Structure 1
Amino acid sequence: MPAIQLYSTPLSGHCHRVTLLLNMLSLPFETRDGGKDVRQTAAFAQLNPLQQVPVLTDGEHVLTDSNAILVYLVKRYAPDSHWLPEDPLPAAEVQKWLSRAAGEVRYGPASARMVKQFSAPEVYESALKVAAKFLPQLEEHLENREFLATDRATIADLACYSYVATAPEGGVSLTGYPAIQRWLARIEGLPGFTPLPALPLPEIVG
């Protein structure tokens, strides 16, 4: 049995970003069921009192929060790689985009998808406003760049990818964002990439 186990659900973008990095680092791992019923058990609450996925266990270590898991995996298994630079300025750029993944991406495209696909108790109109403000900023940032933080893919790209790529599943169009589409294609071309399962597209906004 692999030392690394990942509690996840197939349609979660937060879980997907961790799966992407595990695959891209060629780390063997076992996927464990992180569905709603499992999350409500006392055993799972011992792993993560917030009862959220992903949760990654690596031997005796238990990691929660998808972005924290990305940092851990790189620091432990690929410390000298391009995934998380050591130099101060590139490292700060990575952190900035990790924050945006937890901020604008989560409360914009991700929130819209959660409402449309899973009837999440969030405000759809608010999600659309966040996405409408964020996506043009992302487009401008990527017009003359291949990746978000440096000239190579970093964990910032993986953290932002999943919910931006699935924005149409929340009714948010990417048609007017060619630089974003090129960036998504670059991520999809990386060795070890695996897509999220596709969901039906609702009516596109914008």
Structure 2
Amino acid sequence: MLLYHHPLSANGHKVKLLLGFLSVSHDEKTVDVPGGEQFADWFGVISDLRQIPVLDDGAVRIRDAQAILIYLGAKYDPERRWWPTDAAEQGIIAQWLSFAAVELQNGINLSRLYFRLSAPCDIAAAQMQGEKTLGVLDRHLANKDWLELGRPTIADLACVTFAARSGEAKHDITAYPNVSAWVERVRTLPNFTGMEGFA
């Protein structure tokens, strides 16, 4: 198994977290996204969208962090705690996968890439979106330890790697105490894998 990612990638980190929690042996290859390596011919063969992360598991190659989380949870978690088999529970979790891919990506993640790498974006709109999404998470986590099902699932992993890096996006996470506590709960899970920005 080979994971293509970059150390600054919050999307790559969510995959690394699940690989660690499931104790799945794998190799990693860094794609120098800030240097434009995603546009190299060799990577175009790996990902036609030229985005990371990508997981190559021999017979199957999957792009998109949320899709990879589903695959790993279905194939490598025999207890199906991270990605359950029940359709209703899957639907509840899938809502948060979409939230991560759209709302969090277009808010916190765009802002942090703007401030860290000078990536172009409408920073005012991204900042507004970031505050909105942190508010959604904070309200949802009131009186809850985890986003859904009373336990850690891939819903948490999909979202937490953005929330944990909200400081890089110039958001004050301490203004969202339920989010702050949730981030710390993830950090203290056995086999947590830290990366820059969330270690």
C-alpha change, 1:116 and 1:71, in structure 2 (3 Å) is: same
1:167 matches 2:154: no
1:20 matches 2:17: yes
Matched-pair contact (CA < 8 Å) for 1:110–1:164: no
Q: Which residue of 2 aligns with 1:191?
A: 190
Q: Which residue of 2 aligns with 1:108?
A: 107
Q: Which residue of 1 aligns with 2:122?
A: 123
Q: How many residues are aligned here?
A: 196
Q: Tell me the alpha carbon deviations over residues 9-45 of structure 1, each in whole angstroms, 9 at most, x when there is no partner.
A: 0010000000111111000110112113532222211
**Considering only aligned residues, what root-mean-square deviation do their CA atoms show, in Å?**
1.4
Q: Which residue of 2 aligns with 1:77?
A: 76
Q: Tell me the alpha carbon deviations over residues 111-168 of structure 1, each in whole angstroms, 9 at most, x when there is no partner.
A: 1101111111111101111112221121110011111121110011001011110001
**Please, what TM-score do these two structures have when normalized by structure 2?**
0.94
Aligned equivalents of 2:197 and 2:141: distance in 1? 25
Aligned equivalents of 2:195 and 2:125: distance in 1? 25
Q: Which residue of 1 aligns with 2:3?
A: 6
Matched-pair contact (CA < 8 Å) for 2:96–2:155: yes
SS at match of 2:70: helix
Structure 2 counterparts to residues 144-155 of structure 1, below 5 A: 144-155=143-154
Matched-pair contact (CA < 8 Å) for 1:5–1:29: yes
**Please, what TM-score do these two structures have when normalized by structure 1?**
0.91
Q: Which residue of 2 aligns with 1:202?
A: none
2:69 is aligned with what amino acid?
A: L
Aligned equivalents of 1:181 and 1:150: distance in 2? 20
Moved more, 83-92 or 31-40: 31-40
Aligned equivalents of 1:81 and 1:50: distance in 2? 30
- Unpaired runs of 5+ residues, structure 2, are none
Matched-pair contact (CA < 8 Å) for 1:108–1:129: yes
Which aligned runs of 4 or more in structure 1 are off by greater than 2 angstroms? none
- Unpaired runs of 5+ residues, structure 1, are 200-206
SS at match of 1:175: helix
Q: Which residue of 2 aligns with 1:177?
A: 176
Q: Which residue of 1 aligns with 2:86?
A: 87
Moved more, 132-141 or 10-19: 132-141
